[in-house]
Structure formats: C-alpha cells, structure tokens
Amino acid sequence: MPANPQNPLIVQSDRTLLLDVHAPRAGEARVAIMPFAELEKSPEHIHTFRITALSLWNAAGAGFSPDDIVTTLEYWTRYPIPPGITEGFRDTMARYGKIRMTRETDAGAAKGGLSPESMGETLLLVTGDPAIRAEIAAAKGLEKYLQKTETGFRLSLINRGTVKRELIALGWPVEDEAPLINGAPLEINLRERDSGEKPFVLRDYQREAARAVAGDGRPGTGFGVVVLPCGSGKTIVGMAFMALLKTNTLILTPNVAAVHQWIEELINKTDLEPGSIAEYSGDSKSVAPVTVATYQILTWRRAKDEDFPHFSLFREREWGLIIYDEVHLLPAPVFRITAELQAVRRLGLTATLVREDGAEDAVFSLVGPKRYDIPWKDLESKGWIAEAVCTEVRLDLPEALKIPYAVATPREKHRIAAENPLKETAALQLVENHPEDHILVIGQYIKQLESLARLLDAPLVTGKTPNAQREEIYNAFRRGDVRVIVVSKVANFAIDLPDASMAVQVSGAFGSRQEEAQRLGRILRPKTGADGRKRNAYFFTLVARFTVEEDFSANRQKFLAEQGYKYSIQYWAAREFAPGQTGADA
C-alpha cells in the first residue's frame, strides 16, 4: 500500500491512531474511526485514538467486521500500516458472539422444570464451544449465578448485568440478545420554540449523540454513554433521546439543584405538561411518567445493615428508559441496582468517564459502552462552548508555615499547602482585576471558604446550605445581583450558572482529574460582552509553590491538557500583593 501524505491518519504498531487535525478531510476520518477506536487525547494538532479489545467488541456489536476496520484504516492512513497489528483484530472480534444471552423459551422452560409464570424471569447463556463452557463453569465469580444446561447456563433476570460484567472481565463479551422492554408509552416531543417563545433548534452533535445511543433497534442497541463537555447541552441530548423512545423515564442526578434544572428544561423545551413530571428527592417524593431523582435519596438507609428503602422507585412504574446524569459519579449501591436493570434502555451522560476509583469498566458493563464522544476543542472552535484561558498561579508559603509543612505527614502537607493564607489575598486581587466577570471561587476546606466569603463579601454555598437558600443564591447570581459566589465541592456537579465566566480554584481533592474537568465545565457556556463580542472564560488555579500541590496540580491538569487546553504559569510574590496590581513577577 503506497504512502499518501495528504491523508490525515497515522497508524502505529501499538494500535494507537494519530489524527492530524490540520490535514484535509480530518473530520471525515475521525467519524470513520470512532466506531472502533477510543479517543484518548485531543490537544491542538494531533488527536490520539487507541484500538482496544473493548473498542473492537463495541464495533463487532455494531455490525462491523475486521475487514471493515482494515479497509477504513487503509483508506485514511498516511503511511503503510505496520505489519501484524491488523491480524489480531479478527481474533479479538471473534470473541464477541461466542457467548449469547437470550430469553428462556417455552420449550426450554418446560425442559428445565420452570413454570410459565417464572419463565420471563429467566435467561439462558448459550455457547457452542465446550472449552468456553468449561471456563465459565470454573469461574468462581460466576458459580452462584449460573445453573448448567446442555448448551450453556441458566440465570435469573436479576443477575443479567452482574454476569455480563464478570464475563467481560474474563475476556468474553456477551452478545445480549434478550429484548429490552418498551415501558409504558409517553408522548413527548421537543418544542420548536421554548416556553419563552425563543427559537429552539437541536444542535447537530446533540441529534447525532441521541441517535447513536438509540441505534437501529437491533439487539445490542438502545443503551450507552454520551461524553460531552459541560455547557454543551448534555441535558438536551437526554431529552432528544426521550423524544425518540417516547416512554416513561426515570432520570437520576447528583443533587437537588440538578433535579430542578432538569425539570425546568423539560418544561421549557418539551411539550410535557408539568403534571407529567415529578421530583423524587429529600424534599419531595412524587412519582410521574417522568420522574427526576437524586443518587443521594436512592442510597439513603437508616443503617449499614439495612436495605435501601427508596430502591422501590425502580419498580414504581413501567420505566422504559433510565438516564444517569453525571454517570461517572454513580455510587456503588446504584451500580448494584443498575445490574438488575439490564432489560431497561439506559443512557449515561458525562463530561468525562474518568473515575478516580478506576470503575470505568462498571459503567461500560452496566450502563453501556461509549456511543458518542467529541473533542472539547471542536465544540469550542464552532462557538458551542466558550474559549477557556487557564492559568496556574504559584504562591510561596509564608515563612511561618515552612517548618510546620516540612515536618508534617503527607495528608497534613496537602492541607497546609491548600490553605496557604496568601491564596486569600490572591483571590481578592483576581476578583478586583476582573470587574466584568461573574466569578466562582471554589475550594475544598470549609474554614478556608468561610474566610474567603468574609473577605470577598460574597455568599457561601456548601453541602450544609439548605436547598432553598442555595436556589436563592444561584438565582441572585443569574440575575446579576451577586457577582461572586464562594462554593465548596458542591459546585463540581450539575450547577447551571450560564453567566459564570471565571473560576478561581483555591483547593481541591488531591490530584482529581475528574474534579478539574467538572470545575472548568462550570464556566464553559458561551458568553457575549456588552459590545456583542464573544468573551473568553478564565480558569485560575492557586497553588502553593514547592509543595505537594504542584504534583497534584500537574495530575489534575493532565485531563484538560489531553483535551487541548494550555495552562500558563505565573509566579506571584507576597511583596507585590496590593489591590489593583497584577501580582505577577513572571
């Protein structure tokens, strides 16, 4: 195969694909490889994709063959494909479909001694390969869920997700042919104008994302995860998916503020009547054809050895769809119930699938594979999200803290660095230097935030702030009555403050990339100034110099650097701190 220097793709021997975004037809090439390659990094010039076993199994489930993939790579590659890498595609993809999961038939039920009433609660795991059956039978993690049959195993419907997750860990992805339930019907359509009579048009990527999850109705479609940056309208993707399925829907969110935002958007942008939408949270426990609940209420229980009483919500109605907002935050108990809900269509929405506990495989197995992803910078270049200017401000520790820091334990070092008192002066100066911006000052430690709120004369929102008071503060911020809010980690999740144009991060959860992505996302809604021009968003991180914070900050920035964001670094000296000055000595 001759080289073609005009092509945008470089195929490497480690199964990474490098996409030159400046080459002709790079966008077409990206669309062509997305079904079988995972996007890993998307900085300015070269985007990195990787072909993995999971990505090949996803492709097989979507109907792609190994030959399809090789043909695509050969069409788009700039240089000859390294020998050997494509041979393994066939063997990897052949694993998909070796094991099928089907519904118990009448004949199978009778032969197994099952009553007709229990038949619908039973599934079959079928394989024609005796060696695979032997491997499954020997797997300790599966023995309590499976009962041997002549051609495979029988399992309870409730264990459908758990068995699939165990099998994928063994390297055997299951072709799940058991049908999905339709749920109770619900007529729902997107408006052409919102409730304020402003034109409402679904963006192309939002429509593509919803359709990518819906698929063509074949087994193996109708569930999955959409990854889009904060501020790009993930909620609208969820509503577009609801309009495609037209069924009773349960929406799970991280907090009550997100519940209210979902309800407002549903009323504003769909033709649902308010009476068809209900809130299920600590404040209100109603159920309707569309019910919006919090993860917290579902995982509440009186004692650790008791059941979760609100799990009954999953059986309150004939749900045909469950939407997991901020799916990367799914708590372990909800993973458990999600494993039981494999017959229901599922949509996960997130800005990043990064989980600091490494449980990405659980999201894949139980909610579904990633069906749609798009580089953050692509949306920024088209004006769908704001251009962000990221700056790290490094500050010395005061002399009085240097010795206590030097002899502290690792955890104490993090706290001393995070609560560097010079950060308060720097935050005040940044606020004064940006009089036209609406600013979120975000941190981890409550005492530090209380002190900042007094210094900045700004309201404080923490996990202990009553929901009604939070809404009052958020609404004042939206109206412009309040320009600065000091917020704890509650700002990491699902707060809709579209006018926020600047964030000052004073402390965070060690090196959490997930948290960095979420906090930046709070300020990415597009904005215009008084002159009608688009305005940048500003993201400042305050870091104690020569401390563990520098290492943690580097790890936190890794995710954003892979998305194409650059950080500039400034060094501020304490002697230069004075209101109205820039503070930068480098």
Is the model's pLDDT at 81 over the cut of 80? yes
What's the rounded Cα separation, in Å, for the pair 447 and 25? 53
The verdict on 475 and 488 lying in the same domain is yes
DSSP per position, 426-484: HHHHHHHH-TTS-EEEE-S-HHHHHHHHHHHT--EE-TTS-HHHHHHHHHHHHHTS-SE
- CA 134 from centre of chain: 37
At residue 447, the pLDDT reads 94
State how far the Cα of 477 lies from the Cα of 502, in Å rounded to an integer. 13
**Same domain for 356 and 249?**
yes
> Does 16 lie in the same domain as 146?
no
The stretch 439-450 carries a mean pLDDT of 93
pLDDT value at position 339? 64
- Of 176, 194, 217, the one marking the end of a domain is 176
Domain membership flag for residue 379 = no
CA–CA separation, 289 and 293 (whole Å): 13
Identify whether residues 367 and 389 lie together within a single domain.
Answer: no
Q: Is the pLDDT confidence value at 421 over 90?
A: yes
Between residues 265 and 365, the one the model is more confident about: 265
> Can you read off the two tokens belonging to residue 17?
């694909």
- pLDDT at position 304 is 76
Residues 413 and 510 in one domain: yes
Confidence (pLDDT) at 112:
39
- Average pLDDT for the chain: 84
Among 103-117, 232-246, 365-379, where is mean pLDDT lowest? Answer: 103-117
Residue pair 431/484 in contact (Cβ under 8 Å)? The answer is yes
Task: Give the pLDDT score at 59.
Answer: 82
Q: What is the pLDDT of residue 309?
A: 78
- pLDDT in the model for residue 419: 94
Show which of 340, 355, 374 is a domain's final residue. Answer: 374
Q: What percentage of the chain carries pLDDT values higher than 70? A: 87
Q: Is the pLDDT of residue 579 over 60?
A: no
Q: What is the pLDDT of residue 67?
A: 92
Question: Could you tell me the pLDDT band of residue 522, with boundaries at 50, 70 and 90?
Answer: confident
For residue 44, pLDDT beyond 80 = no
Looking at the structure, tell me whether residues 151 and 267 fall in a common domain.
Answer: no
Residue 119 lies in domain: 99-176
What is the per-residue pLDDT across 206-242, written as a single tens digit (0 to 9) for each?
999 999 999 877 766 788 889 888 788 899 999 999 9
**What's the pLDDT score for residue 315?**
80
332 vs 430 pLDDT, higher one: 430
Mean pLDDT confidence for 466-476? 89
Same-domain check for residues 84 and 114: no
Q: Which helix (H) or strand (E) holds 346?
A: strand 345-350
Please report the pLDDT score of residue 217 as a whole number: 73
Residue 413, pLDDT > 80, answer yes
288 and 163 part of one domain: no
Report if residue 195 sits inside a domain.
no
Task: Note whether 411 and 558 are same-domain residues.
Answer: yes
Q: Is residue 292 domain-shared with residue 401, that is, in the same domain? A: no
Geometric angle at alpha carbon 303, from 300 and 309, rounded to 5° = 45
Query: Quick check: 132 pLDDT over 90?
Result: yes
Long-range contacts of 303-307 (CB under 8 A, 24+ apart): none
Neighbours of 106 (CB within 10 A): 10
**Cβ–Cβ under 8 Å, residues 319 and 183:** yes
What's the CA gap between 38 and 167, in Å, rounded?
21
Do 90 and 106 share a domain, yes or no? no
Number of domains in the chain: 4
CA distances from 304 to 301, 307, 331, 338, 425 (A): 7, 8, 15, 20, 44
Q: Residue 116 pLDDT more than 60?
A: no
**129 pLDDT higher than 60:** yes
| pLDDT tens for each residue of 340-355 | 677 789 999 988 766 5
Q: Would you call 443 exposed, middle or buried from its count of C-beta atoms within 10 A (0-12, 13-18, 19+)? A: buried
| Structure-model confidence comparison of residues 435 and 303, the more confident one | 435
